[in-house]
């Protein structure tokens, strides 16, 4: 794709979207549009002033989408809500499902050349017996799937619907993403929790990937002729304990030393639920996150490795860089 063709990015002020915008600018793209809310935190994209055309609105506003997506060649749909707080489920469903449907419908109506949807390993689904997963793993309705997972799965169904109606699409399913950016939400929050003296560690494991790898893979996928496929993006499968220990080492804090058993999990989410009801704060642990912290699923990255020959960066090195950045910002 030529560098002056129009690119539209949703979720541009979030972790993935902001890194993507920087990457597109570095690659020489000059016709980039991105969506933001009036209340969006612009800290991660402040240095892109004059290099990105910002449009106020959100993906529930169809009229705005129809205006901004005129003459768009490529769409990177990064916008989503990640929440395990029941009070936010309704809004999460609207953004993740209805918002994605709006994006797909508008892209089809306006003849977008290629549409990339950022999904999640959560959309692959979980069940009691699942130990390994790849792009061919079929979704199964299960109590092990969080409300967030259900919303991302249904969002994928909207994208696949678009593909059957003629929209060229691609889907990436990143595992848990690490990258410098925010310390009060997402995985950046892990550093703050460890810094405050985390004593407990979960017993499970999952996949982890750097935001750098997610963005570079998204870009090469969009430049390729591959359409109507999904790719699981996963740098390494690691135990949560190893992740928390690495974070503790980078910010010179003690390792969490108490294993979370079933009793402690039950106590933790119930305590946080009661606390959130009394104070109105978001719970640090919910029934869903407590349950999933003990799962142990290995996510395959073989398809993504085979497609373009890209290599994944070390998650441990990323954690070290994040720790150094966290200490600098903390002062």
Yes or no: say if 78 and 119 are a contact pair by the CB < 8 Å rule. no
Determine which helix (DSSP H) or strand (DSSP E) holds 181, and give its type and residue range. Answer: none
Q: Which residues of 18-49 are buried (b: 16+ CB within 10 A; e: fewer)?
A: bbbbbbbbeeebebbbbbbeeebbeebbeebe
Return the number of other C-beta atoms located less than 10 Å from residue 96's C-beta: 29
Is the torsion defined by CA of 179, 213, 140, 242 positive or negative?
negative
3-state secondary structure of 259: strand
Angle at 188 between CA 184 and CA 193, to 5 degrees: 70
Q: Is the pTM of this model over 0.85?
A: yes
Q: For 7-181+207-235+298-314, give the CATH class.
A: alpha beta
3-state secondary structure of 243: helix
Return the number of other C-beta atoms located less than 10 Å from residue 175's C-beta: 25
Q: What is the pLDDT along the chain (331 residues), one digit of tens a residue?
A: 788 999 999 999 999 999 999 999 999 999 999 999 988 999 999 999 899 999 999 999 999 999 999 999 999 999 999 988 888 999 999 999 999 999 999 999 999 999 999 999 999 987 778 889 999 999 988 888 889 999 999 999 999 999 999 999 999 999 999 999 899 888 999 999 999 998 888 888 999 999 999 999 999 999 999 999 999 999 999 999 999 999 999 999 999 988 875 534 443 434 344 444 444 555 555 555 555 656 789 999 999 999 998 999 999 999 999 999 999 998 7
């Amino acid at each position: 794709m030529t560098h002056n063709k129009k690119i539209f990015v949703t979720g541009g002020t979030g972790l993935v979207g902001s890194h993507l915008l920087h990457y597109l600018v570095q690659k020489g793209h000059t016709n980039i549009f991105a969506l933001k809310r009036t209340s969006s935190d612009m800290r991660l994209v402040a240095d892109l002033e004059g290099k990105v055309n910002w449009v106020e609105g959100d993906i529930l506003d169809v009229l705005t989408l129809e205006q901004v997506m005129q003459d768009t060649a490529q769409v990177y749909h990064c916008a989503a809500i990640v929440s395990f707080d029941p009070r936010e489920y309704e809004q999460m469903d609207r953004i993740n499902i209805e918002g994605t449907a709006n994006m797909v419908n508008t892209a089809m109506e306006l003849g977008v050349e290629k549409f990339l949807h950022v999904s999640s390993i959560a959309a692959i689904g979980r069940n009691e017996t699942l130990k390994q997963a790849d792009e061919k793993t079929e979704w199964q309705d299960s109590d092990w799937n969080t409300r967030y997972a259900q919303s991302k799965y249904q969002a994928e169904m909207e994208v696949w619907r678009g593909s059957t109606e003629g929209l060229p699409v691609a889907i990436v399913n990143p595992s848990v993403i690490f990258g410098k950016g925010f310390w009060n939400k997402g995985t950046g929050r892990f550093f703050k929790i460890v810094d405050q003296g985390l004593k407990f560690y979960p017993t499970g494991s999952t996949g982890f990937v750097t935001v750098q790898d997610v963005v570079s893979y998204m870009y090469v996928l969009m430049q390729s002729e591959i359409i109507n496929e999904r790719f699981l993006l996963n740098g390494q499968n690691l135990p949560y304990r190893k992740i928390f220990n690495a974070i503790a080492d980078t910010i010179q804090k003690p390792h969490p030393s108490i294993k979370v058993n079933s009793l402690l999990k039950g106590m933790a989410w119930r305590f946080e639920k009661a606390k959130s009801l009394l104070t109105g704060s978001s719970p640090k642990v919910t029934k869903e996150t407590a349950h999933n912290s003990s799962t142990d699923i290995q996510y395959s990255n073989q398809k993504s490795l085979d497609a373009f020959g890209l290599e994944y960066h070390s998650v441990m090195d990323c954690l070290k860089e994040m720790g150094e950045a966290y200490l600098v910002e903390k002062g």
